[in-house]
Each structure stands twice: as structure tokens, then as C-alpha cells.
Amino acid sequence: MNSKQLLTLGYNYRHVIGVGKDEKKAFEHYMKAAELGSTAAMQHRTTDLGIVHGMCSVGTRYFPGNGVDQDYNKAFEYFKKSANMGNMVAMYNVANCYRNGIGTKRDIQSANYWFKKRRSLLKTNKSPGHINPELKRILDDDRFKLSWIDYNEVLSWNGEKEYLQLYIGHVDVALKVIHNSNENEQEFIQELKNYCEIGYENPSFLECYGVSRNDDGDYIIVMGIAPKGSLQQNLVEVSQLEWKDKLNILNGKVIDLESIHSQELVHRDLHSENVLQGDALQYAYITDLGLSKKEEKICGILP
């Protein structure tokens, strides 16, 4: 079998397509596809997509421990190999590992490098002419790499990935409906602008990919997803983590607060429901910038 055939078979075992679900066999086939990379590298054929995706898939098996013992270090190793060969999902995973100190030493500079590199490869579409002029300027700003996403296409997603692949490099997203934004466009535009400006200067901040608008006229921000949900939802599990992991969560929040403050903004609504957690509980991202304002005065009293 070649690398693409191995990758397909691994995918089928993982997603129960024509065969029974078997995470171990999925891992074995992903690993075989990845192992072809050593030979390909010697023969200068490292652009073989099956090999590139195989390496990333091995990393995605090691990270949660599906079909193999969990090993963050090995996950990072395979993500890094695949990222160096141009895989956008691997770039995203490498960046998050560096940001959160998972499988490697925390390194914000390296995290920002990989976030920026991946971001530069994203495809976007231009916004239509009928939308709010200020919103259009933000969407068409090349720095932010945003897309206007037609709501009919949002409705057609239904868990499928085709549209996500086209616009945001194979990364799952969350849809944040800004309720009543049809009555107050300016507040929505300000929140979007906050996300974009913070993210441009600090690429490790939770990403914003684009905007849509539902049939009620409310805007939707298409954002990076946090699979574990909010810190509030995970308080029991988090309380049982080792102290080094709890400190990792705290470090993630500090990174994002520094990013917010670097733009002279104050969050003003920071609590456990506005701290999101990614593929691992050790990941932490601050969200919900709707109340964030420019800092105009000293808040509180210094002892």
C-alpha cells in the first residue's frame, strides 16, 4: 500500500466506514503512512500528502491516547514533522503545544511563529457590498484574514468539513451568535475589532475566522473552538489536576490578559465561563470581549 491508501484505511477504522471501529488499527495504519516519510525524505519526496497527513494523524492519536498510550511528547514530535512539511492542521497543533507548554517547553515566540505561518496560508473571500461599511473595512483588511460567510452555507455545515477546509484550513470552529446585534451593530463591530486587533498583534489569542448573519439579523462570529468547553464546566476535573497543570491553566490566562492589555483594553467581565479550554484541560483561552473597553482610568487601589 502507498501512503494515501494507508491513510484512508486508518481513517475508515477511525470513522467506521466499511469496517468496525478500531482505534488501535487506525493508529497502526497512520503510523505506517508516517513511517514512509523517512524513506521519502531521503529521496526528496517529502511533499507526498499521504505521508504529511499520516504524520499529523499519528500526532492526533498520541495526543489523547486513542489506539495508543497517551504521549504528549510524541504527539508534538509528529505534529512538528508534519508542520515542517506544510500541513496546516499540524501547524495549528504545534502552535498550541508551544503556547500551552504541552509536549514541549512553553515558547510564545515559537507559538506566534506557527500561528502566523498557518494564518498566512488561509484562504478568504471578500465581503459583499451591502453590509455595514465599517464592518466591510474590517473584513477586507488583509491583516486579519477574515471571510464573510453566507448564512445558508453555515446552515449546510451540519458537522461536515468541506466548507471548513476551504476557508479555515481544516480546523473545527465555534459559532458565536451575538444576540440583539441587529439592533446594535456598533457594539458587535467593536467586539469583532477587539478580537482582530488583539489577534493580529498576539497570534496566540483565540482566533477569529470570519462573520456571518442569521435570518434574525443577528451577527455570528466564527471562532476557534474549545472542545473541552468552559472552565466553569470543568471545575471538578480541574480541581483534581496536579499543581503543575493548574499552573499551566493560570499561565494561559495570563498570556491572554497580557494580550488584551497590550491593546490598552480591560476585559471587565472575566470569570470561569469566559475561560475556555481546548483539546486538553491544560489549555486556557480568554473569550467574550463584548464588554472590553479602552482603559481610561486607574481601576482599584494599589496597596
Indicate whether 188 and 204 sit together in one domain: yes
Which string of DSSP letters, residue by residue, matches 22-51? Answer: -HHHHHHHHHHHHHHHHHHHHTT-TT-HHH
Indicate whether 106 and 31 sit together in one domain: yes
Q: Residue 169 sits in which domain range?
A: 133-224
State which amino acid sits at residue 303. Answer: P
Task: Output the average pLDDT for the chain.
Answer: 80
Residue 44 pLDDT: 37
Q: Is residue 206 part of a domain?
A: yes
**pLDDT at residue 111 is higher than 60:** yes
**pLDDT at residue 120 is higher than 70:** yes
CB atoms within 10 A of CB 186: 11
Q: What is the CATH number of the domain that holds 256?
A: 1.10.510.10
Number of domains in the chain: 3
Cell (9 digits) for 233: 464546566
Q: Is residue 302 part of a domain?
A: no
Indicate whether 220 and 233 sit together in one domain: no
Indicate whether 149 and 248 sit together in one domain: no
Domain boundary among 120, 141, 169: 120
Q: Is residue 185 part of a domain?
A: yes
**Residue pair 30/10 in contact by the 8 Å Cβ criterion:** yes
Domain boundary among 120, 154, 172: 120
Indicate whether 18 and 114 sit together in one domain: yes
Residue 165 pLDDT: 41
Mean pLDDT check: name the lowest of 20-34, 42-56, 109-123, 200-214.
42-56
With pLDDT > 90 as the criterion, what percentage of the chain qualifies?
31
Q: What's the pTM value of the predicted model, to 2 decimals? A: 0.77
Cell (9 digits) for 286: 480568554
Indicate whether 195 and 259 sit together in one domain: no
Q: Is residue 127 part of a domain?
A: no
- Specify the residue for cell string 498550541: 96
Overall size of the chain counted in residues: 303
pLDDT band at 171 (very low <50, low <70, confident <90, very high): low
Indicate whether 92 and 34 sit together in one domain: yes
DSSP class of residue 128 equals P
Indicate whether 17 and 110 sit together in one domain: yes
Structure confidence by residue, pLDDT tens digits, 246-261 = 998 999 999 999 999 9
**Between 297 and 129, residue with greater pLDDT:** 129
Domain boundary among 224, 246, 273: 224
pLDDT mean over 162-188? 71
Helix (H) / strand (E) element for 213: namely: strand 208-213
Q: Is residue 200 part of a domain?
A: yes
Q: What is the CATH number of the domain that holds 149?
A: 3.30.200
**Between 125 and 64, residue with greater pLDDT:** 64
Structure confidence by residue, pLDDT tens digits, 58-107 = 888 899 898 889 999 999 999 998 999 888 889 999 999 999 999 999 99
